[in-house]
A = this chain, B = another copy of it.
């Protein structure tokens, strides 16, 4: 089983960005903990980050036939990108939406996710733990793939 983790804009700043909201863990720290847990579960991991909407779209497209599940933290593009939504819908790979913070407890414009309706589920609010929960839900989603 192979899972692709995609990270959207500004997540490369993790650990420096508004630490009172996201903590001091870097994206590399998160990748390491995801890979550690994946090894236990015998899952192969892809892990990428981009600030460019179109690059994220292309990575989703390229995942076709390469990955069984996508776990995506689309960050700001969660709320503005129909292109990401269309990409997820087009490739047909089961996708799980995750967020570090509880987006429903932040500014009004972060409550609405444009990609949620084409994802299998949403996990938010548990910091880096959201990634581990995302990985575990990926196992479930893969087993119950329609």
Assess whether B123 is in contact with A91, with CB atoms less than 8 Å apart.
no
In the complex, how many angstroms separate the beta carbon of A135 from the nearest chain B beta carbon? 11
Describe A's contact surface by its main secondary structure.
Answer: helix
A26 beta carbon closer than 8 Å to chain B: no
Assess whether A51 is in contact with B133, with CB atoms less than 8 Å apart.
no
Assess whether B57 is in contact with A54, with CB atoms less than 8 Å apart.
no
Give Cα A9 to B85, complex, Å.
11
| Interface bin, chain A | 35 or more
Assess whether A124 is in contact with B122, with CB atoms less than 8 Å apart.
yes
Q: Using Cβ atoms and an 8 Å threshold, which residues of chain B touch A90?
A: 10, 13, 16-18
Assess whether B125 is in contact with A87, with CB atoms less than 8 Å apart.
no
Assess whether B82 is in contact with A80, with CB atoms less than 8 Å apart.
yes
Binding site for B on A (CB under 8 A): 8-10, 12-13, 16-18, 50-55, 57-58, 61, 64, 75-77, 79-83, 85-87, 89-91, 96, 102, 104-105, 109-114, 116-127, 129-130, 133, 136-137, 140-141, 144
List 20 A-B pairs, Cβ < 8 Å.
Answer: A12-B61, A13-B87, A13-B90, A16-B91, A18-B90, A50-B54, A52-B53, A52-B55, A53-B54, A80-B82, A102-B122, A104-B117, A104-B119, A105-B116, A111-B112, A122-B124, A122-B125, A123-B133, A129-B140, A133-B133
A-B pairs with the 4 shortest C-beta distances? A121-B125, A52-B54, A104-B116, A17-B90
